Amino acid sequence: MDDKKSLSYTFHNPNNSAKTAQFLLDILIEANKDTVDKLLSANAVANESHNSHNCVKVLLRIQEQVS
C-alpha cells in the first residue's frame, strides 16, 4: 500500500484577470483591515504634520510591519 493518491483541484473562473485581482485584493484588505487601521492610527498620532514626506514614511512603516 505504498501508492498515495494525489488530489487535483480545478476551479472555473468566469471573470477576467482584472476582476479576479480586484476580488482577491478586496479579500486581503478585509482580512488585514484591523491591523492596518491600528497602524494608521498609531502613526497618525506620532506624526501630527501630514505632509507628503511623513505620509511616505508612514506607508513604509506599515509595509514593514505587515510583511
Q: CA Rg, the chain, in Å?
A: 20
| Burial bucket for residue 8 (CB in 10 Å: 0-12, 13-18, 19+) | exposed
Question: Given the C-alpha cell 514626506, which residue does it identify?
Answer: 53
- Output the nine-digit C-alpha cell for 62: 506599515
pLDDT tens for each residue of the chain, 67 residues long: 567 888 888 888 888 989 988 988 889 888 988 888 888 888 777 666 555 566 677 777 877 777 6
pTM score: 0.40
